Structure 1
Amino acid sequence: MAATTGEREVEEFLLPIPKIKNGILQSVLGMGKQLHVFQAQRPSSKTSGARDKGNQTIFDVQWNAEMHDIARKLVNETHNIFVMLQGQVKSLSQPMLYTQLRKASKQYRSVLKACSMELMQIADACVDDTRKIKYEEHIQEFEMVQLIWSLCEIIFIEAAPGGLILTPLLDWLQWHFQEGNHLALEVTQSEQPSSHPSYWEAVNRLLLQGNTDSVRKLLALHVYSHSEPFLGVDELLRKMPRWTYQHAQSAAEYEMKWRHWRDECIRRYEAGEFTAYKELETIVQVLCGDEAVFRELKNQCETWYHLLVSKLLYQNPTVRLKDLSFEIKACQAVYNLSSPQSQELDNILQATMECDIHQVIQDSCNFLSNRSWWFVSHLADILHHCGQLDPQKLPFGSNLREYLLLEYATSLMAHKSLWQVGVDYLDFCPVFGRSYLEAYIEHIPLETESKAHKVLHLCQERDLLAQAQSVCKVMGMKCLKQDRLGSALSWFLKSKNATVIKQVTDRFLTEYCEKGKFSHLDLIDHLGPSMLVTNSLTFLGKYREFHTLYDKGDIQGATSLLLSLISSRLAPKTFWMTMLMDALPLLNLPQVVLNVQQTYELKHCLEELQRDGTSNYYKNLSDSEMDKLRLLQLALIRNLSRAIIKEGSITNIA
């Protein structure tokens, strides 16, 4: 495919993948700007049953995943503005909403400006040339975004009274083109301002931006400022009519005053009042709107859009927004637009002045989204709420605003510390936001418990029950593999997954069998209603309660609870012998605490265990354990006889 006009050079990367016979590369999309690339075998009839397992390397390819601290600051601060604005969109009526939208737009630009100035300070202090170039590239990009955004704000967001557009365009020009002010400051600080080599350039630059007050101040510093030609120019500058929104005058009244003033400028110029000074003649030619003089001063305008606004100021100050497009081509023809980057920027600004909002979005996506979708997503959000974007759905079912927000959120999900910001943007995507979030949560790496708790919290806030259970299960299994049984049980309890909870309780019981004690007693002692989630957990909690009663000396309560646990058969058979051994001290007490029926229950349990070969209990018993088993059998027989005698005595007495 042939490269399109202004196409940017694409940086290429080489992956160290060995070439294999019949080998192909396959890939799977990861999170955000991430791709998992791996080597696979090309399917063929001869090797359909064979698989090459020589190289199982998976390459994790990420692009633009790192973010400078300043860009991170931009993301975080504008995120707060975005979230607040979405709440206002829901609660405010139209007049108040438009006020808030204009305010939000200015807040976005304010953050952009602050970040740009901070970058300038870092670049000035940087001694590494390579890094300094990178900083300067970032600064240039920030300034281009500010230039585009502020123009879009004028054209699409701010409603110019009567459609008169020149005053805000002059403000836009003066805000973004500061060279005239810098030169003026340099000139005024010199010993002889009028002899400074940049004196007349500063005058002309300020004049072309409509800053007539500053021009008059500079002219007053000239050694011949009291001569008739200088006083005449000062008078014309002072009398120049100004259109402001605050003054109660109609556009027609202003235009009439302006034409009278321009006629005076032309008359006095043609009368030769300023021929003594060529520079003053140039100034008056500008005031007269002479076409040729603007071509002469094109280098002091720098760009076609600066020239456009300057010409409109002195040729057609009551221009309406709808008429801007007729003036663009002539101004562009004055400049040689050779740089691809400047051409792309010019295309965006031209589309903005032609009120082609969709072209602005499209060109901005192509030009600026290579680094970040921040600009187009936030601008589209404001334009959408202003009613400037076509609400019609795109072919895949979402509107343009949501599509751009999804792209921006996707880029944030690739960052380790900004994924939570991305989640908030997905919340305001009504069509696909939830499904995107569900998919991303499944792929968020849970490196720490702190991060896992954050993910779980956002799932619970949004009723993402399946994803919440998945997070708990993943973290529980991770803790289980690390033998952190308490943490594993805590996570599994949150998931309420009976199968995995049983695995943990079995591990607790195995641990007790091996060590003779439980770890994480605080957790087991405070299970509360959670122990009712599964039978195995109920048994664990009750078995721990048995030990607590026994340690406190409540023999009757402990005996009753132990018999209840044995009779319920809730414990795994591998644990039955442990419970029977727990009964041994109770059987050897001086007083009889187990009656005949309870003793028979213990004997039946032991006999069932002996008949069942699945427990494998007897196969690996040591000599000491065999001695304990014999003692248990003997104690059961003795207790049975004592219980029979005791119950018989009670019967005889009765």
Structure 2
Amino acid sequence: MTAIRLYPPLFEEGKDAEFLRSGRTLSVTQSPRDNSIAVFATNTAVDSKALKLLKEKYPESQDIYTASTDTVPSSERRLFVTETSVIFASLQDFKNNQREQDPRLGRNEQASQVLIKHAVDYVQLVMKSWGQASKPLNRPQPLHYDANHYRTMYTSLSLFVVLYLPEAGFDDAPVGEELMEWLNTHFIEPSSEEGDHLSSQDRPWEDESFWPYLTRSVMRGFSKASVFLLETLSRHPSEHLQSVAQHLAPLLSSHPRIVQFTSERDFVVALRRWKEKVKTLRLELDRVPEDAREDDFENWWKSFSNIVGILEGRSEIIQSICIDLNADWKEVCAVWSIFVNHRLRRQDLPDVVNQILESMPPDPTDPEDMIHVALFRGETMEALSHAAKLDVWLAAHWVDLMDAVDLLNPRVGDESDISVRDQYILSYADYLHSDPALWRITVAYMCSCGLIGKERADQVLLRVPISFKTNRGNSGDVNAAVHSGEVPTALRAVVETCHEYGRESVRRMVCTIAARNFLHHQEYGLAVSYATSAENWTWLGRIVDGVLGQYIKHGPEVFARSVAAVAPTLQELRAHPGADGVFTHRLMFAVRYAEFHQRRLRGDLQEAALDLLTMFNEDLAPKTWWGVLLCDAVELIWNDNLMLFSSSGAVELIKRLEEVHLRASQGSGDAYLSVLMVTMGGSNEAEALQRLKSARLTLAKYYAKCTMIAGGHDIKGSRMGIIAV
């Protein structure tokens, strides 16, 4: 259980009971944006009188303490996480495609090669991070993890590849050469500085580091360094040592290594012959008289005998030497696989390691040592447990590789139905969630973990911070609004991510939220587009109402500009198979009504009149707008220069006007006059009807005028215009 310490303290140590008696308690809430928490004091009293007393006693504002369950990744760690995610995504794509053809990834030779490639990519990335963390640079912020942390992950990942991801055809081959190469790569002994120091001396055997350096060079397979030092012994005062050294040098140079042979049988034959030569050297060494086995500094014979013992493969001598050289069990194991049991297979390693550990136990306080022990023993679950304590990154990417090659226990977790793989990867995703900037990577890892992971990813997607901004004119006046028409980058990214992982319900919800925000910022075109994408026809109706509301609030000019942003989306909406006809119809009216005003404002009155009649004839105009359109028609009629409506058009307008009056008399006036009343400054129904009575008189006169012209009568003062028939 994690302890949370508040600073400054909310109450003194040991006074928690007093704090509870005061009528308060601690509350904790988790941030929906990341995995941070807020801790604060709240009242436990529910009685109004008790609450009043509490407020009197604690009137000051209470502190809110914030904390995070994970340290937010630093810039260098964020780069590491991002580069890793590319490899992880590539591996998931491969695994998903491959399993459709053959679910047994680990037994498919081609698939195994791809898995090895991805594992090596992880290794190289960790090695790169280790190198960067080792550089003594002036950094703007401290490292998330030091260089030794990445070095530990580097050695562990490399060992995993050696033991569990062999090249095709080498899964049952001797593992000694690969183990020794791993040891020499990650745990360099003896050091090059020691070699330089000895090579600069005329009598290097007089140096106390001579025999330890030579012995370790022989164990590690550094034949060139070993032969060089043996050649210096040609100047040694002892003729016996000169002789045995002269015989040892070619043995080291000719030591058979399995990588030099095309078949294991040829290697075994060559090794048997080589062993015979080692026996000959042992016989020669044993013939050295007792009184000739020491020089002026030490017993050279004993050190030389230990080297021959290594070549003979005597396990007790190898362990004794490693203890004297302060080597650990890993070095004994690697040397064992070269000199003691040259045919040692991967599956045989656990028995050998257990035998070695009896006299050379690992360091239980060293996470690296414990990880290596578990890997050598084949205890993958134990290795994962130690890896998670070291770095949840290592455990997550390890478990993904282990799952691909069937190294995991198929049993699900003890407390849930989540697999072992998903448990570790979701833990890593939780760690990533501490940084909201990494939300796309967080979602990618979660969505690789089945239904439960995808449901958790949904919650992350719904809470991605998206900034909806609008650019307005310098005056700040809404009538001078200039909208950007740009979709926020984060919104695009969320929608793309939902498409990528098939989170359709979340995509629709996000699009609905976007439509609502665009409506708030009067970005009507984007609002309609996202409402359509979300297939949320209710919100589409609200957006259309918002567009029409621009006419009511600000007049035809602002309304026309608002509709101009919506018009391009109309064709897309009409083509949508699931579009609700009611809301599409209303949007078509808004577009046609805006076109009417644009033509009227440009002076194209004839086309404007045709638009107005079309809205009635095609039943585009909602009944609530009839009163407004009839008043617009009267304004056109008042123009003395043109006869814009035919007699049939005038009849249509009069018919609509009579229906409004009839419905109003029957108590349904609000359904026909509500918009007109608002445009008249909040007038009542009686005032709206009075205005329409004036419109009725004007329309009646206009119809009479049309009739007289059609009958051939000239009306004084009138000029014949274009009649729309």
With normalisation by structure 2, the TM-score equals 0.74
Change (3 A) 1:530 1:218: same
Change (3 A) 1:127 1:138: closer
Give yes or no for contact 1:181–1:206 (8 Å, CA) kept in 2.
Answer: no
Change (3 A) 1:211 1:13: farther
Give yes or no for contact 2:26–2:39 (8 Å, CA) kept in 1.
Answer: no
Q: Distance in 2 between matches of 1:426 and 1:640?
A: 72
Counterpart in 2 of 1:85?
91
Q: Distance in 2 between matches of 1:285 and 1:618?
A: 106
Q: Secondary structure at 1:359's aligned position in 2?
A: helix
Counterpart in 2 of 1:6?
none
Counterpart in 2 of 1:368?
390
Q: Deviations over 1:207-233 (max 9, x none)?
A: 332222332234446783794354243
Matches within 5 A, 1:80-119: 80-89=86-95, 90-91=97-98, 94-119=108-133
Q: Secondary structure at 1:526's aligned position in 2?
A: helix
Matches within 5 A, 1:168-187: 168-183=178-193, 186-187=196-197
Counterpart in 1 of 2:401?
382
Change (3 A) 1:86 1:531: closer
Q: Deviations over 1:400-446 (max 9, x none)?
A: 22332333333334433322223333343334333232232223332
Counterpart in 1 of 2:306?
285
Q: Secondary structure at 2:37's aligned position in 1?
A: strand
- Counterpart among 414, 421, 427 of residue 401 in structure 1: 421
Give yes or no for contact 1:203–1:218 (8 Å, CA) kept in 2.
Answer: yes
Counterpart in 2 of 1:527?
569
Q: Distance in 2 between matches of 1:462 and 1:48?
A: 52
Q: Distance in 1 between matches of 2:75 and 2:553?
A: 52
- Counterpart among 7, 14, 24 of residue 6 in structure 2: 14
Q: Distance in 2 between matches of 1:585 and 1:486?
A: 30
Give yes or no for contact 1:476–1:487 (8 Å, CA) kept in 2.
Answer: yes
**Structure 2 residue 130 is matched with structure 1 residue 125:** no
Counterpart in 1 of 2:16?
none
What is the letter of the counterpart of residue 125 of structure 1? L
1:70 is displaced (CA, Å) by 3.6
Counterpart in 1 of 2:720?
none
Q: Deviations over 1:153-184 (max 9, x none)?
A: 22222164645221111011011012424335
1:50 is displaced (CA, Å) by 9.2
Change (3 A) 1:297 1:433: closer
Moved more, 272-281 or 86-95: 272-281
1:98 is displaced (CA, Å) by 1.4
Give yes or no for contact 2:529–2:569 (8 Å, CA) kept in 1.
Answer: no
Give yes or no for contact 2:294–2:300 (8 Å, CA) kept in 1.
Answer: no
Identity of aligned residues (%): 16
Q: Deviations over 1:566-609 (max 9, x none)?
A: 68485584x66654443243111334334442342464477568
Counterpart in 2 of 1:325?
350
Change (3 A) 1:266 1:178: same
Change (3 A) 1:457 1:256: same
Counterpart in 2 of 1:256?
272
Change (3 A) 1:299 1:232: same
> Which ranges of structure 1 fall in alignment gaps of 5 or more residues?
2-9
- Counterpart among 634, 638, 648 of residue 698 in structure 2: 638
- Counterpart among 23, 26, 34 of residue 24 in structure 1: 26
Counterpart in 1 of 2:707?
647
Q: Distance in 2 between matches of 1:102 and 1:560?
A: 73
Q: Distance in 2 between matches of 1:618 and 1:118?
A: 69
- Counterpart among 621, 637, 649 of residue 587 in structure 1: 637
Counterpart in 1 of 2:476?
none
1:511 is displaced (CA, Å) by 2.6
Q: Deviations over 1:377-416 (max 9, x none)?
A: 2222222222222334445334322332333333334433
Q: Deviations over 1:473-497 (max 9, x none)?
A: 2223334444555544443343232
Moved more, 562-571 or 70-79: 562-571
Change (3 A) 1:504 1:86: closer
Q: Secondary structure at 1:35's aligned position in 2?
A: strand
Change (3 A) 1:506 1:288: same
What is the letter of the counterpart of residue 95 of structure 1? E
Aligned length: 630
Counterpart in 2 of 1:497?
536
What is the letter of the counterpart of residue 286 of structure 1? I
Give yes or no for contact 2:244–2:285 (8 Å, CA) kept in 1.
Answer: no
Counterpart in 2 of 1:443?
463
Q: Secondary structure at 2:608's aligned position in 1?
A: helix
Change (3 A) 1:199 1:285: closer
Give yes or no for contact 1:287–1:314 (8 Å, CA) kept in 2.
Answer: no
1:24 is displaced (CA, Å) by 3.1
1:237 is displaced (CA, Å) by 1.9
Moved more, 424-433 or 250-259: 250-259
Q: Secondary structure at 1:432's aligned position in 2?
A: helix
- Counterpart among 274, 278, 282 of residue 266 in structure 1: 282
- Counterpart among 77, 80, 83 of residue 71 in structure 1: 77
Counterpart in 2 of 1:313?
338
- Counterpart among 445, 448, 459 of residue 425 in structure 1: 445
1:13 is displaced (CA, Å) by 4.3
1:456 is displaced (CA, Å) by 1.1
Give yes or no for contact 1:187–1:193 (8 Å, CA) kept in 2.
Answer: no
Q: Secondary structure at 1:418's aligned position in 2?
A: helix
Greater Cα radius of gyration, structure 1 or 2: 2
Give yes or no for contact 2:175–2:337 (8 Å, CA) kept in 1.
Answer: no
Q: Distance in 1 between matches of 2:696 and 2:195?
A: 106
Q: Distance in 2 between matches of 1:41 and 1:474?
A: 34
Change (3 A) 1:278 1:416: farther
Counterpart in 2 of 1:34?
36
Matches within 5 A, 1:341-356: 342=366, 344-356=367-379
1:452 is displaced (CA, Å) by 1.2
**Structure 2 residue 235 is matched with structure 1 residue 224:** yes
Q: Secondary structure at 2:450's aligned position in 1?
A: coil
Q: Distance in 1 between matches of 2:440 and 2:180?
A: 40
What is the letter of the counterpart of residue 227 of structure 2? R
1:349 is displaced (CA, Å) by 1.7
Q: Secondary structure at 1:527's aligned position in 2?
A: helix
Matches within 5 A, 1:506-585: 506-516=545-555, 517-518=557-558, 519-530=561-572, 532=574, 533=579, 534=583, 535-550=585-600, 555-565=605-615, 568=619, 570-571=621-622, 573=624, 578-585=628-635
Give yes or no for contact 1:24–1:42 (8 Å, CA) kept in 2.
Answer: no
1:295 is displaced (CA, Å) by 3.6
1:450 is displaced (CA, Å) by 0.8
Give yes or no for contact 2:215–2:307 (8 Å, CA) kept in 1.
Answer: no
Give yes or no for contact 1:348–1:364 (8 Å, CA) kept in 2.
Answer: yes
- Counterpart among 219, 223, 231 of residue 212 in structure 1: 223
Q: Distance in 2 between matches of 1:169 and 1:113?
A: 18
Q: Secondary structure at 2:27's aligned position in 1?
A: strand
Give yes or no for contact 1:475–1:491 (8 Å, CA) kept in 2.
Answer: yes
| Greater RCO (CA < 8 Å, at least 6 residues apart) | 1
With normalisation by structure 1, the TM-score equals 0.81
Give yes or no for contact 2:396–2:428 (8 Å, CA) kept in 1.
Answer: yes
Change (3 A) 1:522 1:368: farther
Give yes or no for contact 1:193–1:199 (8 Å, CA) kept in 2.
Answer: no
Q: Secondary structure at 1:417's aligned position in 2?
A: helix
Give yes or no for contact 1:34–1:414 (8 Å, CA) kept in 2.
Answer: yes
Counterpart in 2 of 1:238?
253
Give yes or no for contact 2:362–2:370 (8 Å, CA) kept in 1.
Answer: no
Change (3 A) 1:615 1:544: closer
